[in-house]
Amino acid sequence: MNIYADRGNMLMLERRCAWRGLGFTLTAAGLGDAVDPDAHDLFYLGGGQDRDQRLCAQDLVDTKCDALHAAAARGALVLGICGGIQLLGHHYELGDERVPGIGLVDLHTVRAADGSRLIGNVAIEVRLPGLDGPRVLAGFENHGGRTMLGTGVHPLGRVLRGHGNDGRSGAEGVLAGTVIGTYLHGPLLPKNAWFADWLLATALGLDPAALAPLDDRLEDAAHAAARRAAGV
Ligand code: GLN
């Protein structure tokens, strides 16, 4: 799936690698395409509306599920955004309908009976391995589904502003080893260059501090604007 600037997120990773002289190869996997669990450092599932999600869900289960489990088991990063986080879990319930997920993380999603959506600018506080102290991710959320984490499953972050997974718990996203999910899009990585770098470093098995610094004046301004929009 690919909505809300998922391509921009890919471009961000590509550019930051290129500026540092790091190789970057993007391979797309559409409906029916198999995925090689050993061929990539990061697996990315974008967002989509319910209609697209139904189309992708069964295909993910049928042709990509085993590969994504194998990739996560060997420590590759798997990042699911919005509809992507929903498909990483057990299922997405829409009334009587149950859209299957790949069960890579212990969570499930239920669409609100009244169809109400959780929309707006959002900021969360996150603590990630290899980074000292908390950081802020700022973005935009727009989802009808409410995501519930299983017992003992950690969210990606704590909601500072916005709705998060379910509009109630204060939890946003999921962080389970190298599997990460979040409702933040809008686009996530150009608004949070530090997180793009953390993903790159982690995917390559590097300390985030080992990445060569870049001139991030524009990126810092984008991050500040996203935080301002969220009121943080
Ligand atoms: N279809 C999902 C929902 O509305 C995800 C939407 C999205 O990816 N923006 O809950």
Q: What is the pLDDT of residues 24-47, one digit of tens each?
A: 999 999 999 999 999 999 999 998
pTM as predicted: 0.96
Question: Among the atoms of ligand 1, which is closest to the Cα of residue 49?
Answer: 1
Cβ within 8 Å of residue 73, ≥6 positions away: none
74 membership: H or E segment, kind and range: none
Instruction: List the pLDDT tens digit at each of the 232 positions of the chain.
Output: 877 778 899 999 999 999 999 999 999 999 999 999 999 999 999 988 888 888 899 999 999 999 999 999 999 999 999 999 999 999 999 999 999 999 999 999 999 999 899 999 999 999 999 999 999 999 999 999 999 999 999 999 999 999 999 999 999 999 999 999 999 987 899 999 999 999 999 999 999 999 999 999 999 999 999 999 999 9
Report the separation in Å between the CA atom of 131 and the middle of ligand 1, taken as the mean of its atom positions: 30
Check 108, 143, 185, 223 and give the catalytic one: 185
Those residues with Cβ within 8 angstroms of residue 165's Cβ, 6 or more apart along the chain or in another chain:
146, 147, 148, 149, 155, 171, 172, 173, 183
Pocket of ligand 1 (CB under 6 A): 47-50, 53, 82-83, 86, 142-145
Task: Tell the burial category of 4 from Cβ atoms under 10 Å away from its Cβ (0-12, 13-18, 19+).
Answer: buried
User: In this predicted model, what pLDDT tens digit does every residue of 77-105 receive, in sequence order?
Assistant: 999 999 999 999 999 999 999 999 999 99
- Give the chain's end-to-end CA distance (angstroms, integer): 30
Our mutation pick for probing the ligand 1 site, out of 50, 118, 146, counting the most ligand atoms within 8 A of Cβ, is 50
CA distance 200 to 204: 6
CA 21 – CA 127 distance, rounded (Å): 28
Please give the pLDDT value at position 82.
93
In the residue annotation, 82 being an active-site residue is answered as yes
115 CA to centre of ligand 1 in angstroms: 12
> Length of the chain, please?
232
pLDDT at 60: 96
Q: How far is the CA of 133 from the centre of ligand 1 (A)?
A: 31
User: In order of start, what are the domains of the chain with their CATH numbers?
Assistant: 7-14+39-230 (3.40.50.880)
Query: Which of 25, 38, 42, 34 minimizes the C-alpha distance to 62?
Result: 34
Which residues have a Cβ under 8 Å from the Cβ of 5 and sit 6 or more positions away? 185, 186, 187, 190
Taking the CA atoms of 107, 99, 124 and 180 in sequence, report the sign of the dihedral they define. Answer: positive
Strand partners, 176: 179
User: Which of 40, 65, 82, 108 is the catalytic position?
Assistant: 82
